[in-house]
Structure 1
Protein backbone atom coordinates (compact mmCIF):
# COMPACT_ATOMS: atom_id res chain seq x y z
CA UNK A 1 0.00 0.00 0.00
CA UNK A 2 1.42 3.39 -1.01
CA UNK A 3 1.18 5.83 1.92
CA UNK A 4 1.55 9.54 1.29
CA UNK A 5 4.14 11.26 3.47
CA UNK A 6 2.62 13.61 6.08
CA UNK A 7 2.28 17.23 4.95
CA UNK A 8 4.92 19.74 5.96
CA UNK A 9 3.03 22.20 8.14
CA UNK A 10 3.83 25.83 8.91
CA UNK A 11 2.03 27.07 12.02
CA UNK A 12 1.33 30.82 11.97
CA UNK A 13 0.07 32.87 14.90
CA UNK A 14 -0.84 36.36 13.67
CA UNK A 15 -0.61 39.00 16.40
CA UNK A 16 -0.69 42.65 15.40
CA UNK A 17 -0.30 45.54 17.80
CA UNK A 18 -3.32 47.69 16.97
CA UNK A 19 -6.54 46.76 18.75
CA UNK A 20 -9.32 49.25 19.37
CA UNK A 21 -11.80 46.99 21.19
CA UNK A 22 -9.29 45.71 23.77
CA UNK A 23 -6.10 47.81 23.62
CA UNK A 24 -2.94 45.69 23.61
CA UNK A 25 -5.01 42.53 23.90
CA UNK A 26 -2.56 40.09 22.29
CA UNK A 27 -0.11 40.47 25.18
CA UNK A 28 -2.56 41.68 27.85
CA UNK A 29 -2.38 39.66 31.05
CA UNK A 30 -5.09 37.01 31.29
CA UNK A 31 -4.99 34.80 34.35
CA UNK A 32 -1.32 35.51 35.02
CA UNK A 33 0.10 35.22 31.51
CA UNK A 34 -0.15 37.10 28.20
CA UNK A 35 -3.10 36.18 25.98
CA UNK A 36 -0.64 35.02 23.31
CA UNK A 37 0.71 32.33 25.66
CA UNK A 38 -2.50 30.27 25.53
CA UNK A 39 -2.27 29.75 21.78
CA UNK A 40 1.49 29.15 21.90
CA UNK A 41 1.09 26.48 24.57
CA UNK A 42 -1.67 24.71 22.60
CA UNK A 43 0.41 24.74 19.42
CA UNK A 44 3.49 23.35 21.17
CA UNK A 45 1.48 20.28 22.21
CA UNK A 46 1.35 19.09 18.60
CA UNK A 47 4.32 17.26 17.12
CA UNK A 48 2.71 17.52 13.66
CA UNK A 49 3.64 21.20 13.23
CA UNK A 50 7.01 21.42 11.49
CA UNK A 51 7.65 25.06 12.34
CA UNK A 52 5.73 27.54 14.47
CA UNK A 53 6.08 31.30 14.00
CA UNK A 54 4.46 34.53 15.11
CA UNK A 55 3.72 37.26 12.54
CA UNK A 56 3.73 40.74 14.06
CA UNK A 57 4.76 44.31 13.34
CA UNK A 58 4.88 45.24 17.02
CA UNK A 59 8.17 45.16 18.95
CA UNK A 60 6.53 44.44 22.30
CA UNK A 61 4.60 41.48 20.89
CA UNK A 62 7.74 40.20 19.16
CA UNK A 63 9.64 40.36 22.46
CA UNK A 64 6.88 38.53 24.36
CA UNK A 65 6.63 35.88 21.64
CA UNK A 66 10.36 35.19 21.77
CA UNK A 67 10.20 35.00 25.57
CA UNK A 68 7.53 32.34 25.12
CA UNK A 69 9.94 30.38 22.94
CA UNK A 70 8.33 31.10 19.58
CA UNK A 71 10.23 32.12 16.47
CA UNK A 72 9.56 35.53 14.94
CA UNK A 73 11.63 35.28 11.74
CA UNK A 74 10.48 38.60 10.28
CA UNK A 75 8.76 41.85 11.20
CA UNK A 76 5.42 42.09 9.45
CA UNK A 77 5.10 45.08 7.06
CA UNK A 78 2.98 47.91 8.50
CA UNK A 79 0.58 47.77 5.54
CA UNK A 80 -0.37 44.24 6.64
CA UNK A 81 -1.03 45.32 10.24
CA UNK A 82 -3.87 47.80 9.69
CA UNK A 83 -7.51 47.29 10.76
CA UNK A 84 -8.52 46.40 7.22
CA UNK A 85 -5.64 43.94 6.63
CA UNK A 86 -6.94 40.49 5.72
CA UNK A 87 -5.71 37.27 7.32
CA UNK A 88 -5.16 35.69 3.89
CA UNK A 89 -2.71 38.43 2.92
CA UNK A 90 -0.88 38.06 6.25
CA UNK A 91 -0.51 34.31 5.70
CA UNK A 92 0.52 34.79 2.06
CA UNK A 93 3.27 37.14 3.21
CA UNK A 94 4.56 34.57 5.73
CA UNK A 95 4.55 31.79 3.12
CA UNK A 96 6.37 34.00 0.58
CA UNK A 97 8.97 34.97 3.19
CA UNK A 98 9.64 31.32 4.02
CA UNK A 99 9.92 30.38 0.36
CA UNK A 100 12.38 33.23 -0.17
CA UNK A 101 14.47 31.56 2.56
CA UNK A 102 14.25 28.23 0.72
CA UNK A 103 11.62 26.70 3.03
CA UNK A 104 8.53 25.20 1.43
CA UNK A 105 5.40 24.00 3.22
CA UNK A 106 2.44 22.01 1.85
CA UNK A 107 0.05 23.23 4.50
CA UNK A 108 -0.57 26.27 6.69
CA UNK A 109 -2.08 26.11 10.18
CA UNK A 110 -3.49 29.48 11.29
CA UNK A 111 -4.10 29.92 15.02
CA UNK A 112 -5.80 33.11 16.20
CA UNK A 113 -4.77 34.57 19.54
CA UNK A 114 -8.31 35.86 20.10
CA UNK A 115 -9.59 32.27 20.49
CA UNK A 116 -7.28 31.30 23.36
CA UNK A 117 -8.89 28.20 24.83
CA UNK A 118 -8.44 24.85 23.10
CA UNK A 119 -8.75 21.35 24.53
CA UNK A 120 -5.52 19.43 25.05
CA UNK A 121 -4.66 17.63 21.83
CA UNK A 122 -7.29 19.55 19.82
CA UNK A 123 -4.82 20.91 17.27
CA UNK A 124 -3.32 17.48 16.72
CA UNK A 125 -6.76 15.93 16.19
CA UNK A 126 -7.62 18.68 13.71
CA UNK A 127 -4.45 18.06 11.70
CA UNK A 128 -5.07 14.31 11.66
CA UNK A 129 -8.65 14.80 10.43
CA UNK A 130 -7.45 17.23 7.76
CA UNK A 131 -4.87 14.71 6.49
CA UNK A 132 -7.38 11.82 6.39
CA UNK A 133 -10.05 13.92 4.69
CA UNK A 134 -7.84 14.89 1.73
CA UNK A 135 -9.74 18.20 1.78
CA UNK A 136 -8.34 21.56 0.70
CA UNK A 137 -8.97 22.99 4.14
CA UNK A 138 -10.35 22.41 7.61
CA UNK A 139 -11.93 24.90 10.01
CA UNK A 140 -13.01 24.57 13.62
CA UNK A 141 -16.72 25.15 14.14
CA UNK A 142 -19.56 25.20 16.63
CA UNK A 143 -23.22 24.34 15.94
CA UNK A 144 -25.57 27.19 15.03
CA UNK A 145 -28.45 27.35 17.54
CA UNK A 146 -31.50 25.87 15.86
CA UNK A 147 -33.50 29.10 15.98
CA UNK A 148 -30.75 30.71 13.87
CA UNK A 149 -30.48 27.86 11.37
CA UNK A 150 -30.26 29.41 7.85
CA UNK A 151 -33.38 27.45 6.82
CA UNK A 152 -35.28 29.38 9.49
CA UNK A 153 -33.59 32.75 8.90
CA UNK A 154 -35.18 35.43 6.69
CA UNK A 155 -33.59 38.18 4.60
CA UNK A 156 -35.29 41.43 3.64
CA UNK A 157 -35.30 42.41 -0.03
CA UNK A 158 -35.35 45.97 -1.46
CA UNK A 159 -39.14 46.12 -1.07
CA UNK A 160 -38.85 45.08 2.60
CA UNK A 161 -40.36 41.69 1.88
CA UNK A 162 -38.91 38.68 3.65
CA UNK A 163 -37.53 35.59 1.94
CA UNK A 164 -35.87 32.49 3.40
CA UNK A 165 -32.10 33.02 3.44
CA UNK A 166 -31.45 29.68 1.70
CA UNK A 167 -33.62 30.66 -1.28
CA UNK A 168 -36.19 27.91 -0.64
CA UNK A 169 -39.86 28.60 -1.32
CA UNK A 170 -41.25 26.74 1.69
CA UNK A 171 -39.94 26.68 5.21
CA UNK A 172 -38.84 23.46 6.95
CA UNK A 173 -41.55 22.98 9.54
CA UNK A 174 -40.07 20.45 11.93
CA UNK A 175 -37.00 21.15 14.04
CA UNK A 176 -35.93 17.51 13.59
CA UNK A 177 -35.76 17.99 9.81
CA UNK A 178 -33.30 20.89 9.93
CA UNK A 179 -29.86 20.00 8.52
CA UNK A 180 -26.84 20.60 10.74
CA UNK A 181 -25.48 24.12 10.49
CA UNK A 182 -22.22 25.46 11.89
CA UNK A 183 -20.35 28.73 12.33
CA UNK A 184 -16.58 29.23 12.38
CA UNK A 185 -15.40 29.71 15.95
CA UNK A 186 -11.99 31.13 14.91
CA UNK A 187 -9.85 28.60 16.77
CA UNK A 188 -8.24 26.67 13.89
CA UNK A 189 -7.78 27.09 10.14
CA UNK A 190 -5.77 24.50 8.21
CA UNK A 191 -5.29 25.10 4.48
CA UNK A 192 -3.15 23.72 1.67
CA UNK A 193 -0.53 26.27 0.69
CA UNK A 194 -1.52 26.31 -2.98
CA UNK A 195 -5.07 27.27 -1.92
CA UNK A 196 -3.71 30.11 0.25
CA UNK A 197 -1.72 31.37 -2.74
CA UNK A 198 -5.00 31.64 -4.68
CA UNK A 199 -6.37 33.92 -1.95
CA UNK A 200 -8.63 31.52 -0.05
CA UNK A 201 -8.66 29.72 3.29
CA UNK A 202 -11.30 27.25 2.12
CA UNK A 203 -10.68 25.95 -1.41
CA UNK A 204 -13.24 23.68 -3.06
CA UNK A 205 -13.42 20.92 -0.45
CA UNK A 206 -13.77 22.13 3.14
CA UNK A 207 -14.01 19.87 6.18
CA UNK A 208 -14.42 20.71 9.85
CA UNK A 209 -13.80 19.77 13.46
CA UNK A 210 -16.17 20.69 16.28
CA UNK A 211 -14.76 22.69 19.17
CA UNK A 212 -15.80 22.42 22.79
CA UNK A 213 -18.57 25.03 23.25
CA UNK A 214 -17.60 25.48 26.91
CA UNK A 215 -14.25 26.89 25.76
CA UNK A 216 -15.66 29.32 23.21
CA UNK A 217 -14.77 32.97 23.32
CA UNK A 218 -13.64 35.21 20.47
CA UNK A 219 -12.09 38.28 22.04
CA UNK A 220 -13.00 41.47 20.18
CA UNK A 221 -14.61 43.69 22.84
CA UNK A 222 -14.15 44.36 26.56
CA UNK A 223 -17.26 42.24 27.16
CA UNK A 224 -15.49 39.34 25.44
CA UNK A 225 -12.41 40.00 27.57
CA UNK A 226 -14.44 39.88 30.79
CA UNK A 227 -15.97 36.60 29.62
CA UNK A 228 -12.44 35.22 29.05
CA UNK A 229 -11.40 36.35 32.55
CA UNK A 230 -14.32 34.43 34.06
CA UNK A 231 -13.51 31.39 31.93
CA UNK A 232 -9.88 31.36 33.08
CA UNK A 233 -11.01 31.43 36.71
CA UNK A 234 -13.31 28.48 36.04
CA UNK A 235 -10.62 26.55 34.12
CA UNK A 236 -8.05 27.12 36.87
CA UNK A 237 -10.43 26.35 39.76
Structure 2
Protein backbone atom coordinates (compact mmCIF):
# COMPACT_ATOMS: atom_id res chain seq x y z
CA UNK A 1 0.00 0.00 0.00
CA UNK A 2 1.74 3.12 -1.25
CA UNK A 3 -0.52 5.86 0.07
CA UNK A 4 0.04 8.50 2.72
CA UNK A 5 -2.48 10.74 4.48
CA UNK A 6 -1.15 14.19 5.33
CA UNK A 7 -3.19 16.26 7.79
CA UNK A 8 -2.22 19.97 7.86
CA UNK A 9 -2.78 21.45 11.31
CA UNK A 10 -1.05 24.70 12.14
CA UNK A 11 -1.37 26.23 15.58
CA UNK A 12 -2.25 29.80 14.63
CA UNK A 13 -5.94 29.63 13.78
CA UNK A 14 -7.38 33.14 14.15
CA UNK A 15 -11.17 33.02 13.77
CA UNK A 16 -11.55 29.93 15.97
CA UNK A 17 -8.48 29.94 18.26
CA UNK A 18 -6.84 26.52 18.62
CA UNK A 19 -9.63 24.95 16.58
CA UNK A 20 -7.61 21.84 15.72
CA UNK A 21 -7.45 21.00 19.43
CA UNK A 22 -10.92 22.20 20.40
CA UNK A 23 -13.28 19.39 21.52
CA UNK A 24 -16.00 18.51 19.03
CA UNK A 25 -18.64 16.27 20.61
CA UNK A 26 -16.11 15.60 23.35
CA UNK A 27 -13.19 14.66 21.08
CA UNK A 28 -10.40 17.00 19.91
CA UNK A 29 -11.18 17.98 16.33
CA UNK A 30 -7.94 16.73 14.79
CA UNK A 31 -8.28 13.37 16.56
CA UNK A 32 -11.42 12.74 14.50
CA UNK A 33 -9.61 13.16 11.19
CA UNK A 34 -6.73 10.99 12.38
CA UNK A 35 -9.16 8.23 13.42
CA UNK A 36 -11.00 8.39 10.09
CA UNK A 37 -7.73 8.04 8.20
CA UNK A 38 -6.49 5.18 10.35
CA UNK A 39 -9.81 3.32 10.30
CA UNK A 40 -10.05 3.59 6.51
CA UNK A 41 -7.19 1.13 6.00
CA UNK A 42 -6.14 3.12 2.93
CA UNK A 43 -2.83 4.49 4.18
CA UNK A 44 0.60 3.13 4.96
CA UNK A 45 1.18 6.24 7.07
CA UNK A 46 -1.00 8.96 8.60
CA UNK A 47 1.16 12.06 9.05
CA UNK A 48 0.34 15.38 10.70
CA UNK A 49 2.13 18.49 9.41
CA UNK A 50 2.19 21.08 12.19
CA UNK A 51 4.27 23.88 13.63
CA UNK A 52 2.74 23.43 17.08
CA UNK A 53 4.15 21.14 19.79
CA UNK A 54 0.80 20.67 21.53
CA UNK A 55 -0.86 19.58 18.29
CA UNK A 56 2.08 17.28 17.58
CA UNK A 57 1.76 15.65 21.00
CA UNK A 58 -1.98 15.08 20.59
CA UNK A 59 -1.49 13.75 17.06
CA UNK A 60 1.00 11.15 18.25
CA UNK A 61 -1.29 10.16 21.13
CA UNK A 62 -4.10 9.71 18.58
CA UNK A 63 -2.04 7.32 16.45
CA UNK A 64 -0.61 9.63 13.80
CA UNK A 65 3.06 10.20 13.00
CA UNK A 66 4.76 13.59 13.31
CA UNK A 67 8.21 12.91 11.82
CA UNK A 68 8.99 16.60 11.27
CA UNK A 69 7.83 20.03 12.40
CA UNK A 70 6.55 22.41 9.76
CA UNK A 71 8.75 25.49 9.32
CA UNK A 72 7.29 28.87 10.28
CA UNK A 73 7.49 30.05 6.66
CA UNK A 74 4.83 27.46 5.79
CA UNK A 75 2.63 28.13 8.81
CA UNK A 76 1.45 31.69 8.19
CA UNK A 77 -1.95 32.96 7.05
CA UNK A 78 -1.01 32.98 3.38
CA UNK A 79 0.60 29.61 2.64
CA UNK A 80 -1.59 27.37 0.51
CA UNK A 81 -2.36 23.72 1.14
CA UNK A 82 -0.45 22.50 -1.91
CA UNK A 83 2.84 23.93 -0.63
CA UNK A 84 2.32 22.23 2.74
CA UNK A 85 1.69 18.84 1.11
CA UNK A 86 4.70 19.19 -1.18
CA UNK A 87 6.89 20.06 1.81
CA UNK A 88 5.61 17.03 3.72
CA UNK A 89 6.34 14.66 0.84
CA UNK A 90 9.86 16.07 0.52
CA UNK A 91 10.44 15.78 4.27
CA UNK A 92 9.23 12.17 4.40
CA UNK A 93 11.81 11.09 1.82
CA UNK A 94 9.74 8.05 0.86
CA UNK A 95 8.05 7.13 -2.39
CA UNK A 96 4.25 7.15 -2.23
CA UNK A 97 2.10 6.70 -5.30
CA UNK A 98 -0.73 8.76 -3.81
CA UNK A 99 -0.89 11.41 -1.09
CA UNK A 100 -4.21 12.46 0.41
CA UNK A 101 -4.50 15.82 2.10
CA UNK A 102 -7.13 15.34 4.79
CA UNK A 103 -8.22 18.43 6.66
CA UNK A 104 -8.09 18.40 10.43
CA UNK A 105 -11.52 20.05 10.60
CA UNK A 106 -13.60 17.46 8.73
CA UNK A 107 -15.79 15.79 11.39
CA UNK A 108 -18.47 14.81 8.84
CA UNK A 109 -16.08 12.89 6.60
CA UNK A 110 -16.99 9.29 5.81
CA UNK A 111 -14.52 6.59 4.80
CA UNK A 112 -16.56 5.57 1.76
CA UNK A 113 -15.82 8.89 0.09
CA UNK A 114 -12.10 8.57 0.73
CA UNK A 115 -12.26 5.18 -0.98
CA UNK A 116 -14.14 6.69 -3.92
CA UNK A 117 -11.44 9.30 -4.40
CA UNK A 118 -8.68 6.71 -4.51
CA UNK A 119 -10.69 4.53 -6.88
CA UNK A 120 -11.19 7.45 -9.26
CA UNK A 121 -7.48 8.16 -9.52
CA UNK A 122 -6.63 4.51 -9.97
CA UNK A 123 -9.21 4.25 -12.76
CA UNK A 124 -8.01 7.41 -14.52
CA UNK A 125 -4.21 7.33 -14.80
CA UNK A 126 -4.29 10.50 -16.92
CA UNK A 127 -5.68 12.58 -14.03
CA UNK A 128 -3.75 14.11 -11.12
CA UNK A 129 -6.27 14.78 -8.34
CA UNK A 130 -9.65 13.72 -6.97
CA UNK A 131 -11.28 15.73 -4.22
CA UNK A 132 -14.54 16.28 -2.36
CA UNK A 133 -17.11 18.67 -3.78
CA UNK A 134 -20.83 19.30 -3.40
CA UNK A 135 -23.31 21.15 -5.54
CA UNK A 136 -24.61 24.58 -4.62
CA UNK A 137 -28.13 24.56 -3.25
CA UNK A 138 -29.26 27.06 -5.89
CA UNK A 139 -27.78 28.04 -9.29
CA UNK A 140 -24.88 30.41 -8.73
CA UNK A 141 -25.84 32.20 -11.94
CA UNK A 142 -28.92 33.56 -10.12
CA UNK A 143 -26.91 34.92 -7.16
CA UNK A 144 -27.69 38.35 -5.73
CA UNK A 145 -25.33 40.98 -4.40
CA UNK A 146 -25.60 44.48 -2.93
CA UNK A 147 -24.86 47.64 -4.85
CA UNK A 148 -23.10 50.75 -3.48
CA UNK A 149 -26.37 51.90 -1.88
CA UNK A 150 -27.13 48.59 -0.16
CA UNK A 151 -29.85 47.57 -2.62
CA UNK A 152 -30.10 44.11 -4.15
CA UNK A 153 -28.87 43.53 -7.67
CA UNK A 154 -28.20 40.47 -9.81
CA UNK A 155 -24.59 39.30 -9.72
CA UNK A 156 -25.02 37.90 -13.24
CA UNK A 157 -27.74 40.05 -14.87
CA UNK A 158 -27.66 37.98 -18.07
CA UNK A 159 -29.19 35.07 -16.15
CA UNK A 160 -31.69 37.00 -14.02
CA UNK A 161 -34.66 35.79 -16.09
CA UNK A 162 -33.39 32.28 -16.79
CA UNK A 163 -35.27 29.49 -15.09
CA UNK A 164 -33.15 27.75 -12.45
CA UNK A 165 -33.84 24.33 -14.01
CA UNK A 166 -32.32 25.55 -17.28
CA UNK A 167 -28.98 26.43 -15.72
CA UNK A 168 -26.12 23.91 -15.38
CA UNK A 169 -25.18 22.82 -11.86
CA UNK A 170 -22.16 24.36 -10.20
CA UNK A 171 -20.00 22.78 -7.50
CA UNK A 172 -18.00 24.00 -4.55
CA UNK A 173 -14.97 22.59 -2.81
CA UNK A 174 -16.27 20.57 0.15
CA UNK A 175 -13.06 21.15 2.12
CA UNK A 176 -12.63 17.58 3.38
CA UNK A 177 -9.94 15.78 1.38
CA UNK A 178 -7.76 15.98 -1.72
CA UNK A 179 -6.28 12.83 -3.22
CA UNK A 180 -3.36 13.45 -5.54
CA UNK A 181 -0.54 11.66 -7.24
CA UNK A 182 2.59 12.44 -5.28
CA UNK A 183 4.44 13.65 -8.34
CA UNK A 184 1.58 16.04 -9.13
CA UNK A 185 1.78 17.55 -5.64
CA UNK A 186 5.54 17.89 -5.96
CA UNK A 187 5.26 19.57 -9.38
CA UNK A 188 2.83 22.08 -7.95
CA UNK A 189 -0.01 21.22 -10.32
CA UNK A 190 -3.20 23.22 -9.91
CA UNK A 191 -6.08 21.54 -8.07
CA UNK A 192 -8.90 23.47 -9.75
CA UNK A 193 -8.32 22.24 -13.27
CA UNK A 194 -9.35 19.60 -15.79
CA UNK A 195 -6.73 17.34 -14.21
CA UNK A 196 -9.02 16.88 -11.20
CA UNK A 197 -11.98 14.56 -10.71
CA UNK A 198 -14.93 15.16 -8.37
CA UNK A 199 -16.02 13.06 -5.43
CA UNK A 200 -19.54 14.44 -5.12
CA UNK A 201 -20.85 14.55 -1.55
CA UNK A 202 -24.43 15.28 -0.51
CA UNK A 203 -24.76 18.82 0.84
CA UNK A 204 -25.89 17.62 4.26
CA UNK A 205 -22.44 16.09 4.81
CA UNK A 206 -20.56 19.30 4.04
CA UNK A 207 -19.69 22.14 6.39
CA UNK A 208 -16.53 24.20 6.14
CA UNK A 209 -15.39 25.26 9.61
CA UNK A 210 -13.79 28.70 9.63
CA UNK A 211 -16.00 30.74 11.97
CA UNK A 212 -17.83 30.14 15.27
CA UNK A 213 -21.08 30.04 13.28
CA UNK A 214 -19.62 27.31 11.05
CA UNK A 215 -18.64 25.33 14.15
CA UNK A 216 -22.15 25.53 15.60
CA UNK A 217 -23.74 24.46 12.33
CA UNK A 218 -21.31 21.52 12.09
CA UNK A 219 -22.26 20.44 15.62
CA UNK A 220 -25.96 20.47 14.69
CA UNK A 221 -25.30 18.46 11.53
CA UNK A 222 -23.11 15.99 13.38
CA UNK A 223 -25.71 15.47 16.13
CA UNK A 224 -28.42 14.79 13.55
CA UNK A 225 -26.25 12.39 11.55
CA UNK A 226 -25.15 10.62 14.72
CA UNK A 227 -28.75 10.25 15.88
CA UNK A 228 -29.63 8.82 12.46
CA UNK A 229 -26.81 6.27 12.65
CA UNK A 230 -24.84 7.71 9.74
CA UNK A 231 -21.92 8.85 11.88
CA UNK A 232 -20.47 7.45 15.11
Q: TM-score range by the shorter chain?
A: 0.7 to 0.9
In the TM superposition, residue 220 of structure 1 has moved relative to its aligned partner by 0.6
Query: Is 2:63 the partner of 1:73?
Result: no
TM-score, scaled relative to structure 2: 0.84
- Pick from 11, 16, 41 the counterpart of residue 17 of structure 1: 11
Secondary structure class of the residue paired with 1:109: strand
- Pick from 175, 179, 182 the counterpart of residue 193 of structure 1: 182
Query: Is 2:200 the partner of 1:206?
Result: no
- Pick from 52, 55, 69 the counterpart of residue 58 of structure 1: 52
Separation of aligned partners in 2, 1:170 and 1:83: 36
Superposition pairs of residues 87-166 of structure 1, within 5 angstroms: 87-99=81-93, 103-134=94-125, 135-149=127-141, 152=142, 164=156
For the aligned residue pairs, the C-alpha RMSD in angstroms reads 2.5
Separation of aligned partners in 2, 1:113 and 1:74: 17
Checking the alignment, whether the CA contact within 8 Å between 2:134 and 2:171 is kept in structure 1 is yes
Separation of aligned partners in 1, 2:33 and 2:159: 44
Task: Show structure 1 runs of 5+ residues with no match.
Answer: 1-5, 156-161
The equivalent of 1:178 in structure 2 is 167
Checking the alignment, whether the CA contact within 8 Å between 1:140 and 1:211 is kept in structure 2 is yes
Checking the alignment, whether the CA contact within 8 Å between 2:113 and 2:199 is kept in structure 1 is no
Classify 1:172/1:94 alpha carbon distance in 2 versus 1 (closer, same or farther; 3 Å): farther
In the TM superposition, residue 43 of structure 1 has moved relative to its aligned partner by 1.0
TM-score, scaled relative to structure 1: 0.82
Secondary structure class of the residue paired with 2:20: helix
Checking the alignment, whether the CA contact within 8 Å between 2:102 and 2:178 is kept in structure 1 is yes
Task: Show structure 2 runs of 5+ residues with no match.
Answer: 146-153, 228-232
